[in-house]
Amino acid sequence: MKDKSNQDNTIPRYLQIKKLLKQEVLSNPQGSKFTAERELAKRYKVAYMTIRRAVNELVDEGLLYRQQGRGTFISEIGRIATKTHSIGFYVSHGFDIINPYYSLIFTGIEAECRKHNYSVFFSAKPEDLIPMDEGREGSLTRRKVDGIIAIHLRASQEPLRQIMRYVPVVVIGYAGAELDIPSITVDHAAGARKAVEHLVGLGHKRIAHISGPLDTPVAQQRQETYLAVLQQAGISPASELIIEGDFDFKVGYEAAKKFLALPEPPTAIFAANDTSAIGAIRGIYESGLSVPGDVSVVGFDDTCQAGQWDLTTIRVEKEEIGHIAFSLIRQMIETGELAEGNLKTVVPTRLIERKSCRRIQ
């Protein structure tokens, strides 16, 4: 094919290419998949970034749109794909932005949005951020956000499948192996290991566990590690010392009461998060006992409340998670792809020792 893009050297090359690509868009069926950018670069004998810039402008103008993991498509009449310079923050059903863990992640996202002139909106329902037309896949009557950062902890992938039909998405939590979605996860196993090994190292053998909801991979990993560390230390896990919770203060409080009513109560509790750990501490105090004098307690997350309660816990850099999530979603919005190696980010943890644990003989 003759390279028609060299017809006028006074016009920037990417604008010449853009004009040719626009003709190609208008001559093909609406809703059809557009030619891959690397193939276009070969066809027009120009640099890949020249094609990328031209295609990005056609996306901004609404002539093309991208579907994550599927490619670039020719827009349909009535589809408005103009960029909003806004990001959605979606917390999946059953979890609350009021939770200090999620609110600190939101703080990190919000700070980055301000730096880069983006707005951010919160919702517990994806349809509030992306009005969806159920009658035709990929159709979009109007767009509220250019991309979504989703807190997703449960194993079901359907909410994520729904979102990624319309805009790019970055997951904080569990994305699942079957979906090609960039995700940011905490090293839950390493964190739980540090927590339980800390208690074992202080001489505790009757160590109870208040888990999170076990339909979430997060809670599963923390409980599995708790059991593994006990077994490796030669301690037989006792079923009466494990209570399933929901990362909630009330369940932590009630669990502590149940543990202390046992004929042989635990000398230590590892809670799956700080909120349930603080609930457990309240339950211990109301039972007439002390922390750490009678029971040692370790949490997970290191929220601001952990410091107020002198809670030994596992630190997760929550605002840093927000910064990473924004960087990834912005890259996807502005370039349509991620740099190699950015599909999964694992955030490390570390033990923060305060005054809620003591050594026993």
Whether 312 and 328 map to the same domain: the answer is no
Q: Which residue has the higher pLDDT, 67 or 312?
A: 312
In a shared domain, residues 29 and 54: yes
pLDDT at 254 over 60: yes
Q: Are residues 153 and 222 both part of a single domain? A: no
**Per-residue model confidence (pLDDT) at position 161:** 73
Whether 156 is in a domain gets the answer: yes
Q: Are strands 296-298 and 268-271 parallel, antiparallel or unpaired?
A: parallel
Predicted local confidence at residue 313, as pLDDT: 98
**CATH for 340:** 3.40.50.2300
Q: What is the pLDDT of residues 296-353, one digit of tens each?
A: 999 999 999 999 999 999 999 999 999 999 999 998 888 766 655 567 889 999 999 9
DSSP string, 101-156: HHHHHHHHHHHHHHHTT-EEEEESSHHHHS---TTSTT--S--S-SEEEEEE-SS-
CA angle 126, 128, 132 (to 5 degrees): 75
Tell me what pLDDT residue 340 has.
Answer: 56
Residue 329 lies in a domain: yes
Predicted local confidence at residue 188, as pLDDT: 95
Total domains present in the chain: 3
Question: What does the block give as tokens for 12?
Answer: 């920037």
3-state helix, strand, coil in the chain (%, to 5): 40, 20, 40
Strand partners, 87: 120, 147
Count of other CB atoms within 10 angstroms of residue 73 = 18
pLDDT of 152 above 50: yes
Q: Is residue 79 part of a domain?
A: no
Structure confidence at residue 65 (pLDDT): 79
More confident residue, 80 or 202: 202
> In the predicted model, is pLDDT for residue 358 greater than 80?
yes
Last residue of a domain, one of 74, 97, 121: 74
**pLDDT, tens only, 25-41:** 877 887 788 999 889 99
Q: How confident is the model at residue 285 (pLDDT cuts 50, 70, 90)?
A: very high
